[in-house]
Amino acid sequence: MNSAWFLYIGFAAALVFIGLYGLLAMRNLIKLFIGIEVLSKGVSLALVATGFAKSHLLIAQAITVTFIVVEVSVVATALAIIINIYRQTGSLDIRRLTKLKG
């Protein structure tokens, strides 16, 4: 794998880190979901960079496009849940959602 790949993957790893940090440290439900979005960016970057490094860009693009379609569905569902939570409890604070204890 050529060194350009490592550069891109390094940045993709940074995005994954930022996304996970958001998931762990944020309290607002919407912010938590932004963490997932950043995670998704990292994944798309990794996919396209891999395709780029191996000159398999067409397949990589097809995969990434499908992945983005999946992402849209997940976003729509998650935001619908968040809106419902807001309507039910009037708050977007994850700390209020502690009725269930895992």
Partner 1 sequence: MVIQIVLLGGLVLFSAAAILFRDLLKAAISLAFASLFLGILFFLMKAPYVGAFEISVVAGLITVLFIVTIALTKMEGNVRESRAALWIFPIFFALFLIIDIAVMKSLVGKIPAVESAPESGTFGQALWGLRTFDLVGQIGVILAGVFAVLALFRKRRKDE
Partner 2 sequence: MAFWFIALPLVVAGLLPLVGKVSKKVLPDILTNLVFVVLLAMAVSQGRGLIAQGPAVFDLSWFGEPLNASLTMDAFSLLMLATISLVSLLISLFSIDYMDHYGSKATFYALFLIMVAGMNGLVLVTDLFQIYLFLEVAAVASYALVAYGLEHDELEASFKYLMLSAAASAFILLSIAVLFGLTGSLSFAGVAAGLKTLEAKFAVGLCSAFFILGFGLKAALVPFHAWLPDAHPSAPAPISAALSGLLIKVSGVYALTRVFISVFGLTPVLSTVLMYLGVISMVVAALLALGQKDFKRMLAYSSISQVGYIVLGIGLGTPLGILGGLFHLVNHALAKSLLFLNSGSVQMSTGTRNLQEMGGLGKRMPVTAGTTIVGSLAIAGVPPLNGFWSKLIIILALVQAGQWAFALVAVLASVLTLWYYLLIQRQAFFGKLNEKWASVREAPFWMTASTVVLALLCVALGIFFSLTVKSWIEPAADALASGVRAVLAGLGMINFVI
Contact positions toward partner 2, by CB under 8 A? 1, 5, 12, 16, 19-20, 23, 29, 32-33, 36, 39-40, 42-43, 46-47, 50-51, 53-54, 56, 59-60, 63, 66-67, 70, 73-74, 77-78, 80-82, 84-85, 88-89, 97, 99-102
Q: Tokens 């950043």 map to which residue?
A: 38
Beta strands in 1-102 (DSSP E): none
Cβ at position 99, least distance to partner 1 in Å:
17
Which of the listed partners (partner 2, partner 1, none) does 97 bind, with a CB threshold of 5 to 8 Å by partner kind? partner 2
Q: Which of 43, 75, 88, 101 binds partner 1 (CB under 8 A)?
A: 75
Determine contact, residues 69/35, Cβ cutoff 8 Å: no
Determine contact, residues 9/46, Cβ cutoff 8 Å: yes
Burial 59-91, CB ≥16 within 10 A → b, else e: ebeebbeeeeeebeeeeeebeeebeebeeeeee
Q: Is 97 in the site for partner 1 (CB under 8 A)?
A: no
Q: Is 46 in the site for partner 1 (CB under 8 A)?
A: no
Q: Per DSSP, what are the bridge partners of residue 28?
A: 93
Determine contact, residues 48/61, Cβ cutoff 8 Å: yes
The residues that touch partner 1, with contacts defined as CB under 8 A, are: 1, 3-4, 6-11, 13-15, 17-19, 21-22, 25-28, 30-31, 34-35, 37-38, 41, 44-45, 48-49, 51-52, 54-66, 68-77, 79-84, 86, 90-93
